[in-house]
Structure formats: C-alpha cells, structure tokens
Amino acid sequence: MKNLSKILLLAFFLALLILPPFLDAYVVYLLNIICISILVSTGLNLVTGYAGQINLGQSGFVAIGAYATTILMTRLGIWFWGALPLGAVIAALAGFGIAVPSLRLRGVYLALVTFGFAAIVEMILVHWVSLTRGPDGLAVPSPQLGSITLNSDLKMFYLNFSITVLMVYIAQNIIHSRVGRAFVSIRDSELAAQAVGIDLTAYKIIAFVLSAFYGGLAGGLYAALVMFISPDAFSVLESVIYITMIVVGGMGSILGAIIGGATVSLLPELLRGLKEVQEFMFGAILVISLIFLPNGLVGLFARFRKAPKIGE
Amino acid sequence: MQDHPSQAPILQIEDLSVYFGGLAALSGFNMKVNRGEIRGIIGPNGAGKTTLFNVISRFYTPSSGKIRFENQDHLTFKAHQVITLGISRTFQKSELFKSLSVLENVQMGLHIQMKASFLSASIQLKGIQEEERHSRQRAMEILEILSLQKYRGMPASLLPIGKQRLLEIGRAVVSHPKLLLLDEPASGMTYAEKSNLVDMLFKIREQMDLTILLVEHDMKVVMNISDGLTVLNYGKIIAEGEPAEVRNNPLVIEAYMGKSR
Amino acid sequence: MILQILVSGLTSGAIYALIALGFVLIYKSTEIVNFAQGELVMIGAYFALLYASFHMPYYFIFLFAAISAFIVGILINNLVCRPLIKAQHLSVVIATFALSFLIRSLIRLIWGSQYYSFASPFAEKTYKFGDLVISPQNFWITVISLIIMLIFYLFFKFTKTGKSMFATAQNQEAASLMGISISKVFMLIWGISSGLAAISGILLSPISAISPYMGIIAIKAFAAAVLGGFNSLPGAVIGGFLLGIIENISAIYISSAYKDILAFLVLIVVLVFKPAGILGTETIRRA
C-alpha cells in the first residue's frame, strides 16, 4: 500500500510539472492560487492547528508580505529575489510584535488581538495613502530571472509550485521534530508541557512567527502573480477563509492544510459575485465543518482506513 | 526513616504556607526528604497534598516559606525549569498528550535533553536525525520496562486508564530525574496493575537512585511502598513517621473517619 | 460641566453595560467568548426595524424584538454550541467568530448594506435643569437599561431558575450534582444574553444608524467587560458605565476624533497592567 501511494504521489508531481503548458490559462491561474493558499494554510496550521493558538490575523500577515515585497521593489529598487524573503521576514517581525505582548494573556484575548490586528492592517492599507496609494492600489513589477521575466501565470506557477513544495517539506520536518511535538503538547496539556520543560511562551511565539512568515511569503508571491494589489484583497474575510481552510482540511495535519487550502481556495472563484454571499457561505461552511467534520476531510478519509490516526 | 549514607536531605521545605483567597491550603508545612527515600503523603481529600506538589512544580507560589532542593533556593525557578533541576511529576488527573502516540509521550520526557530548534529541524541537520533516533530508543527502553511497547504507535488517548497512568510515569522517569512526584498513580488501576506498580517503583528506585514523593489514597499501595509517611489534614501536618506507627496514630484515624471519601 | 459629562456618559455607559453583561454571562457559565455578541446587538436593531414596519406601538416592538433575539440565542446554543461541547475549546471560539460573519452577511443579503433610521419613540426636545441638559432619549435609554439590569439582578437572586443559572455559572459540576439541568441552563443563558444584546440594539436604534456594521460596538463592550473584570457580572456593569464616562471625558478634554480608539486603549492598558480588571479574579490553575 505504501509503495502504491508513493508511486501515485510521484505521478501526481510529474503531472503537475508536465501538464500546465497544455492546460487552459484559467486552470493554470487556479493552480497558482492553490499553491499560494496551501502556503498560507500550512503556516496557519502550525500555530492554530498544531499549537492550538488561535490566529485570526493571518490575512494581516499576507497583506504585509504582499505590500512589503511590492514596496521594496518599487520604492527601494530591490530585486524580487531579495524583496520576497524580506517581505516575509517583515511579516514575521509583525507576528513577533503581536505575539510577545499577547501570549502572556489568556487564549481568548489572543483571538481578539489577532482579529484586531487584521482589521488594523486593513485600515492602514486604505488610509496610509503615501505608502500604499490606498484604494488605488499598487502595480507589482514582475520578477526577473536572468533573461526570463516571470510575467505569465505559467512561469509563476513553476515558481509558486517549487516554493510551496519546499515550504511544506520544511513544515513537515518541523512537525516531526521535538518542536512539532512541543506545539502539540502545548495544545494538549499546558501543565504537562511545562512539567517536561517547555517554555510555553517561547514556543507559542515561534509558532506565531512561523505562521506569519509563511503568510508573508504567500503574500509576496501573490503580489507577483496578480501584478496589482489593493486593500480589498486583504480584508478580514480572508482570515475567515484561511481558518476555514484548516478546519475543513483538518487541523493539526499537514495533509489537512494541503487539502483544505486546495479545496477552499477554489470556492471564491466558484462563488464569483456578491461579497455577502461569499461571507455567508464561508461562515456557514466553517460552522458546519466544525460541527460535522471535527477532524476535517482528512479525518473523514481516516475513518475509512482501519489504522488509528497518529498525531502526524 | 530510611537513613541514606549521604548527607543533607535532598528536599527541605520550611514553614510553607499557601493561601487561596482567605483559605489556607497549606499552613506552616515542614518536611525533610532524604535521598533515595520513598515518602508517602496521605490525608483526606482537600488536605493540601496536590497543592504541595503544585508548589514544588512551581505552578503556585507560596505566600510564605522556603523550599530547598539539593541545597538550592527552589522558589527562584519557573515551572518549566523544574525538570532541568531533576524533578519530574505525574498528575492527579491524567495529563497525557492525547494526540501524540504512546512512544512520543515518553519522548516528550526527553524534550529538554534534545537540541533541535525550528531552524535546525526544518533542514533536518544530521545531528538532529541522530538525536531523534536516540530519544526514540531511550523511550522504547522505558516502554519495555513498563510492558507498553506494543502500544507504541497508538494515540495515547486510546490506552486504558491503568496503562495511561503507567505511561505518565514512563514520561516522568525517562529523563532519569532525581526526585519523582507521583500524584495518585494508582487511581484507575486494577488490583493486578497496582501490585505491578509497586514492584515497578521499587525497581526504578533501585536502577535510577531515585527519591519518590507519593500522594496516594490506596492505603495498601502506600503502606507497602513507603519508607515514611507524612499525613496532612486541612493543610497541616498531623503525623509523620514510619507507616506502622502512623497507621495507629489516633489523630490520623480520626481525620479519615471524620471525612467521607 | 462635570455633571453634564457624567450624565451623557451614563447613556453610552448603560448600553455598554448591557452588552458587556451578555458577554460575561456567557463567558462565566460556559467559558465561551461570544464573538457574535455585536451581531446579536445588530439583530435586535433589525428585528426592531422589522416589527416597526408592521406599525406596532413601541413597547410591542421592543418586546417582540427582544423575544425574537432570545429565540435566536437559544437556536445558536442548540445548533452550534451544544454539538461542540465535546470539541476543543478552539472550535467553539472559531464557531462564534464564524457566526458573526454568517449573521452579518445574512442581514446584508436581506436588507442590503444601506443605513436605516428608526423613528424615536421619545420627544425631540430637551430639558434643562440648571446647567444640565438632558434629552428624553438619553434619559429613557439610561433608565430602561437600569431597569433591565435590575430585573436581571432580581431574576438571578430570587427566582428558582435564576438561582440555578447563577449556581451553574459559579460551579458547573456542583450544580449538576444538585440536579440542575446544565443543558437547559446553557440554553437560557444564551437566550438571555442575546436578549440583552438585542435590547441594547433596540435602544441604540433611534440614536445610531442601523447598519450591518453596528456590531462593532461590541468591541467597546468587550473592553468594558475586561475593564470591569471578565468573570464578574457586577464588573461588567461597572466597566460599562466607567467606559462611557471615560469616553465622554476624553471627548471633551482630549479630542472627539479619538473617542473610538479609547476603548482599544483602555483594553490594552488593562490587559497589560491588571488583566483581572477591577472586580475580576485571576483564575488559579489546578492540576
């Protein structure tokens, strides 16, 4: 069974590498969106799924990554390949800034603070016109790789795909190390975690910073993909969508973040149109998933295999 | 009390008081525990036994009093530093890491002896993989001593209660602590499991030169295993001494008779 | 001058207190922070709008809207909270957050995003008492709020149902051992909390525009609850009035533009210096 799934996985990867030039342009665009969403949800999963710290502000980190990357390129003339990681680092710093004061407090306040953070970022994007050009938005220059300009969805796909695969691999490594176990132990029993020597605050901050970094990285890639960013792509609703991704996919599971990211990111595309309908749908899907799919889609599949699912 | 060839008591508690609101959970508590001793701490419910453990674990800070562990001022340390001093514990209500496997739970006991950071882990440095392998090995050894090895991959939440209690002990001893605090380890265990527990604790004490503080309601277990007993009631010590004398102490009998369990 | 500030502060304070009471009631009993509390305020206002379109007299509108919200609260408890009792605490928090979006977007779908106004049942003119200017609006809002709080207090102190609810809030385990039906109590708690939120929404309707974004006021009520002590019911009331007065003082002496940020500032200051608030107690971890 294990060999079969390895072969399938390999085949799947090969398909993703070979097929895109032959696929419809819109499908290629969607594949890009899926990669970027998986990046966001994987990061969010680390802090909320594994470490159990609710982060309702992921949209803020994505926004910071997108705008920081863009502004570093346009205002400071920094090369994309420098601006992208820098944008992610700036987002990570914001994550650190939020986490340090609020993680001493009860989890409840963290939820409020992260939500407030997302709302404040949205407000800043709109009002700090001298930096962000407010609602007018910013045009994003395309990354240059030697003589190649990554100005098409197809070219961006290969970039997004490689980065996503790399970052998921890294997340997997973290999860399977003592750091990942520490995250889970914080979620399962803060008392016992302390008794085995885990500094709760330090690890919560690490989880938060990681989540922010992943979000910021995704934001930068998103900016380069769509070539134009404006505040309405980074509203608090996006935070709801990201939470929905990990809930629907399965919190505390790498595969869950992937499945959730892939499926849920397609919904706004399918539901083009009224923002109210989107909001309602996401609210409803989220609530329904929480009640009926407590372990997400991953949990659903696990019920069909006999083996008990071990904390991945 | 068992006389250990070495020196000062490993744990000295002086005049400890813990107040919650106006209520004294512990009051004027004094205790000296010698290295290698197994000290039973008994008393009716609410007598302050778990509070004592929580102060030693540094979850609570006492209103007054001193604690010296291995001749260091214990109260200067934080909760997560306690294990680095060599003190491990189990909990009255099972505090296993339910989503982790049985093996991983024991591995958690070795957390501070490992070095992996999120950076070194993300790129899977050679040393990190070696460290992982080593910790898995040590955890397996403990599982074998506890006869839990066949459950190693199972989520800890699926273990029956008696085995969960045993697992928590495994997590506490894998790091070879100097002082082990056991909070009602026998609760939820079957008769067979309890006698197995007693044997196990003796064996571990031998192998690891361990000092044990044991809170327990099961009198048979406590009498069997303790070198000495400290009896608490309403936050105060009402008797102390060898099990045989303490059990006949009228104050102790009254304390238990007067309270419904 | 001071008196005027106090009096105007009382009106907004009364509203904050009502909403904060709802928050704390739910939190104290179920440990759930209801992110949708603001939307329940908004629902109250929209129910009022709905019943107003039937041209009922004010007191009927008030009553029906409050009861409708009460029912919504019960539905939320039964359909969302109850199934999640066994789940991680995280799930419930996310659920109330999702509910807030759900409710808001539902209202937008039905009524649209535009602002509605609600005819005030009270006379427009103001009364002067020496230097003091009082409008009947503000007067009645404050008085009605105080009456509601009094009813709330009497209910909890003297009725059998109220007492069992209070006991449950203090200690669930003991309450259920005494034969109190915890699940009925939770139902009532959500119903009453929603009712309280709705009443504040109804009281707010004449003085603030009705829109799907009304719920934002809950953040201020949240700050008020934290100020008073998040696990203290009297704290919620005191925090509410205190916040209302502080807001007014700062509006006059500092700047009215920053009036809204004040609640955030209060929140941050309290959380940093005394997280337990004025009347709250620190929870002690027990192993």
* Helix boundaries (H) for chain A: 2-18, 25-44, 58-74, 80-102, 107-127, 129-132, 153-175, 178-188, 190-195, 200-226, 236-249, 254-270, 275-292, 296-304
Mean pLDDT of B186-203: 92
Confidence of residue C279 (pLDDT cuts 50, 70, 90): confident
Assigned domain for A158 exists? yes
Assigned domain for C89 exists? yes
Nearest to B33 by CA among B66, B65, B2: B2
| Amino acid C216: pLDDT | 83
Structural tokens at position C176: 């259920």
Q: For chain B, give me the number of helices (H) and strands (E)? A: 9, 10
Tell me the sheet residues that pair with B31: B13
| Amino acid B46: pLDDT | 78
| Amino acid A243: pLDDT | 94
The reply to whether residue A174 touches residue B111, judged by beta carbons under 8 angstroms, is: no
Question: Which residue type occupies C233?
Answer: L
Mean pLDDT of B42-67: 92
| Amino acid A311: pLDDT | 45
Mean pLDDT of C165-184: 80
| Amino acid A147: pLDDT | 84
Task: Quote the DSSP letter at residue B87.
Answer: E
Residues of chain A with Cβ-Cβ distance to C98 below 8 Å are 240, 243-244, 282-284, 286-287, 290
Spatial distance between the Cα atoms of B135 and B139, rounded to a whole number of angstroms: 6
The predicted-structure confidence for C237-248, as pLDDT tens digits, reads as follows 999 999 998 888
Assigned domain for C10 exists? no
Highest mean pLDDT among A177-191, B113-127, C132-146: A177-191
To the nearest whole Å, the CA of A163 is away from the closest chain B CA by 14
Instruction: Flag whether pLDDT at B261 surpasses 70.
Output: no
Assigned domain for C208 exists? yes
ipTM score of complex: 0.91
Assigned domain for A240 exists? yes
Residues of A with CB under 8 A from a CB of C: 48, 52, 54, 56, 101-102, 105-109, 111-112, 115-116, 187, 191, 237, 240, 243-244, 247, 251, 274, 276-280, 282-284, 286-287, 290-291, 294
The predicted-structure confidence for C206-231, as pLDDT tens digits, reads as follows 888 888 888 888 888 888 998 888 88
Assigned domain for C260 exists? no
Any chains having at least 3 CB pairs less than 8 A from chain C are A, B
The more confidently predicted of residues C165 and A307 is C165
Count, residues in chain A: 312
| Amino acid C282: pLDDT | 61
Instruction: Flag whether pLDDT at C155 surpasses 50.
Output: yes
Spatial distance between the Cα atoms of C210 and A274, rounded to a whole number of angstroms: 21
Spatial distance between the Cα atoms of C94 and A287, rounded to a whole number of angstroms: 8
* Residue A48: domain span: 32-270+278-306
The predicted-structure confidence for A217-263, as pLDDT tens digits, reads as follows 999 999 999 999 999 999 988 998 999 999 999 998 999 999 999 99
pLDDT > 70: percent of chain C: 95
Task: Quote the DSSP letter at residue A309.
Answer: P
Residue given tokens 């409008």 in the structure block: C135
Indicate the average pLDDT of chain B. Answer: 91
What pTM does this model have?
A: 0.87
Residues of chain C with Cβ-Cβ distance to B20 below 8 Å are 284
| Amino acid C58: pLDDT | 85
A178 CB-near residues (< 8 Å, 6+ apart): B107, B111, B114, B116, B121, B132, B135
Instruction: Flag whether pLDDT at B1 surpasses 50.
Output: no
**Closest Cβ–Cβ partner in B88, B95, B135 for A191:** B95
Residues of chain A with Cβ-Cβ distance to C33 below 8 Å are 108, 111-112
Interface test mutation site (partner C, options B55, B57, B59, B94, max chain C beta carbons within 10 A): B59
The predicted-structure confidence for B2-20, as pLDDT tens digits, reads as follows 455 557 899 999 999 998 8
CATH number of the domain within which A116 lies: 1.10.3470
Indicate the average pLDDT of chain C. Answer: 85
The predicted-structure confidence for B154-169, as pLDDT tens digits, reads as follows 999 999 999 999 999 9
Assigned domain for A19 exists? no
| Amino acid C74: pLDDT | 95
Spatial distance between the Cα atoms of A49 and A187, rounded to a whole number of angstroms: 9
The reply to whether residue C284 touches residue B95, judged by beta carbons under 8 angstroms, is: no
Yes or no: say if C98 and A287 are a contact pair by the CB < 8 Å rule. yes
Spatial distance between the Cα atoms of B52 and B58, rounded to a whole number of angstroms: 10
Mean pLDDT of C145-151: 90
Assigned domain for C110 exists? yes
- Ordered per-residue pLDDT tens for chain A, 312 residues: 678 888 888 898 889 889 988 989 999 999 999 999 999 999 999 999 999 998 999 999 999 999 999 999 999 999 999 999 999 999 999 999 988 888 776 667 788 788 888 988 988 898 888 898 989 999 999 998 888 888 899 999 999 999 999 999 999 999 999 999 999 999 999 999 999 999 999 999 999 999 999 999 999 999 999 999 999 999 988 998 999 999 999 998 999 999 999 999 888 877 777 777 888 888 899 999 999 988 889 888 877 665 454 443
Assigned domain for A2 exists? no
Yes or no: say if C189 and C25 are a contact pair by the CB < 8 Å rule. yes
Q: What is the 3-state secondary structure (H, E, C) of C79-126?
A: HHHHHHCCCCHHHHHHHHHHHHHHHHHHHHHHHCCCCECCCCCCCCCC
Assigned domain for C272 exists? no
Instruction: Flag whether pLDDT at B257 surpasses 80.
Output: no
Assigned domain for C286 exists? no
3-state helix, strand, coil in chain B (%, to 5): 45, 25, 35
Domain tally for chain C? 1
Residue B95: closest CA among chain C residues belongs to which residue?
C287
CB burial readout A11-30, b (16+ within 10 A) else e = eeeeeeeeebeeeeeeebbb
Strand, coil or helix: B236: strand
Assigned domain for C192 exists? yes
* Residue C36: domain span: 18-215
| Amino acid A277: pLDDT | 84
| Amino acid C284: pLDDT | 44
Other CB atoms closer than 10 Å to residue B71's CB: what's the count?
11
Least confident of C33-37, C90-94, C135-139: C135-139
Domain tally for chain A? 1
Structural tokens at position C271: 């959380």
